[in-house]
Amino acid sequence: MSKQTYKVCFCFQRRFRLAVSEAPDEIKNLFQRYSENGIMTVDHLHRFLIDVQKQDGATREEAQAIIDNTLHELKHLNMFHRRGFHLEAFFKYLFGDNNPPLNPSLGVHHDMTSPLSHYYIYTGHNSYLTGNQLSSDCSDVPIKNALNRGVRVIELDIWPNSTKDDVEVLHGRTLTTPVQLITCLKTIKENAFTASEYPVVITLEDHLTPDLQAKVAVMVTQTFGDFLFTPGSECLKDFPSPESLKKRVIISTKPPKEYLEAKEVKEHGSQKGKASDEEAWGRELSHHKVSNASEDKNDLNEDDIDDEEDDDIDDPKSQQNAAPEYRSLIAIHAGKPKGGLSDCLKVDPDKVRRLSLSEPQLVKAAETYGKEIVWFTQRNILRVYPKGTRVDSSNYNPMIGWIHGAQMVAFNMQGYGRSLWLMHGMFRANGGCGYVKKPDFLLKASSLNEVFDPKAKLRVKTTLKVTVFMGEGWYFDFRHTHFDAYSPPDFYARVGIAGAPADTVMKKTKILEDDWLPSWNEQFEFPLTLPELALLRVEVHEYDMSEKDDFGGQTCLPISELRSGIRAVPLHSRKGERYKSVKLLMKFEFV
């Protein structure tokens, strides 16, 4: 047998051998401190929950339930001891599914009685597309998937069909194949409240004639019936609360009159003197880069903008006799007032509305009007949407929208990538209900001069210490040759923060060679100026010297709800689906 053949055979043997997972030294030391004669009793565990896990309200009964449940699960491994945990059982409990980083018993715990404008809302963009923005199929399936994940804002682009007698949903002026509007509406009704009972907003990009608008009004009222929220007045003075709108469907679009005006301005040019103001804020400078952008492909380079809300029907004059029954359905009025951004951001004390900006428009606007945007979003709704060059359905860094108070940061939910992982992470908060209360600093101000300034330098409020002990599960969830053909994987972890510019950072552990059970035992510190907005990013990759590193899992967690102590952190696929077995053992401390 040649030396090379011997090496290959030896590696094949190694690849299928899985060592027994062993508790890290810190876990062993803690067990010794909180046990006696090799057994951790109920009283010991109770003290551990309070001292180490920082569960101040933990009771002895809860400790007993943890022991009972864990030992019941471990009976087949002969880890049962009637008085409590021995080391292996304690380690299995810490690394088990019943010790997650977010508290599942919290459920919806934010105040849900404030106006809609006080919440970040889980928002989809072109919610009907199955893939890219140019040639993919339009379908109700991605709408169903988004609603079942907890998305609360569904966007539909509505167009006349080829015979002009019915309404279809498609991405206009592209090769996307259409789906009937009624199909989408029925799917929304069937799935609107499976994941959350809080309201669903349907944003309509309307390209219809008045007769088809009337047809849409009939479809919507017949489909949703009593679920439909109609304000009964021309404009809302204040937005209702999510609590008052439970199990209601809300329509948001431009009223027909505003469509006509927007189209005329677009076709014939704005008035003299206003064009320069529009140009000053509406176009991204060619040298400008999005700060703190995600690492998604194409996040940094394109400079053009897409104003999708001005992309209206070809014959604006037909809007003059718009169907009144259609207009009466609109609960959240959208549109851009005439003039520049300073006019768009004026706050009307007598009515509220929705304004939409593309991602580069927001970036440019934030340079000069950051405080005005925050002031505007305290009463009104700001929607941010991807620029038109994202034909691959990629997304952008949502943090610039969130730090300015934008409620509807609209994302292509059918894709994947680091930006979308942040979106998933944000809306794991508040029981996954799709509404997250904005931090107080974005809501409390008595005047524009006192409003939060996103550009201000802030002091550190707290520091998060993160220890990455070890990981497991890849051996069971991946093919044994997935990472390396002839040897176990070489894993490393990346840990960091997405948040305010001063807080945003990524760090990584050392690479551990040939190990299905990597044990890094490394600690990182993250000073946080705005912990209320921060998300913890966790990724695992497998080092590859000659090619791109292989992906091994990710998660993103809202730091505002992160539990202190030693926790088992489940990892997810690129598409955000949780792996069955892959997880990390980590420790979180706030100092």
Residues involved in catalysis: 125, 171
What is the rounded distance in angstroms from the CA atom of residue 481 to the CA atom of residue 419?
29
Q: Residue 267, exposed/middle/buried by CB under 10 A (0-12, 13-18, 19+)?
A: exposed
CA 480 to chain centre: 32
Other beta carbons within 10 angstroms of residue 517's beta carbon come to 18
Q: Single out the residue of 322, 184, 305, 178 nearest to residue 253, CA to CA.
A: 322
In b/e form, how buried is each residue of 107-143, taking b as 16+ CB within 10 angstroms?
ebebebebbbbbbbbbbbbbbbbbbbbeebebbbebb
Two tokens at 69? 């449940």
CA distances in angstroms from 257 to 70, 324, 331, listed in the order given:
63, 11, 15
CA 247 to chain centre: 22
What is the rounded distance in angstroms from the CA atom of residue 384 to the CA atom of residue 288?
18
What is the rounded distance in angstroms from the CA atom of residue 562 to the CA atom of residue 56?
15
Backbone angles phi, psi at 93, to 5 degrees: -65, -50
Decide: helix, strand or coil at residue 221: helix
What is the rounded distance in angstroms from the CA atom of residue 85 to the CA atom of residue 70?
9
Determine the straight-line distance between the first and last CA of the chain, rounded to whole angstroms. 59
What is the rounded distance in angstroms from the CA atom of residue 471 to the CA atom of residue 491?
9
The vertex-551 CA angle with 395 and 412, nearest 5°, equals: 15
What is the rounded distance in angstroms from the CA atom of residue 187 to the CA atom of residue 169?
13
Residues pairing with 252 in the sheet: 203, 332
Round the CA-based radius of gyration of the chain to a whole number and report it: 27
Per-residue 3-state assignment (H helix, E strand, C coil) for 457-515 = CCCCCEEEEEEEEEEECHHHHCCCCCCCCCCCCCEEEEEEEECCCCCCEEEECCCECCC
What is the rounded distance in angstroms from the CA atom of residue 429 to the CA atom of residue 106?
10
What is the rounded distance in angstroms from the CA atom of residue 416 to the CA atom of residue 43?
45
Residues pairing with 356 in the sheet: 383
Two tokens at 586? 């980590």
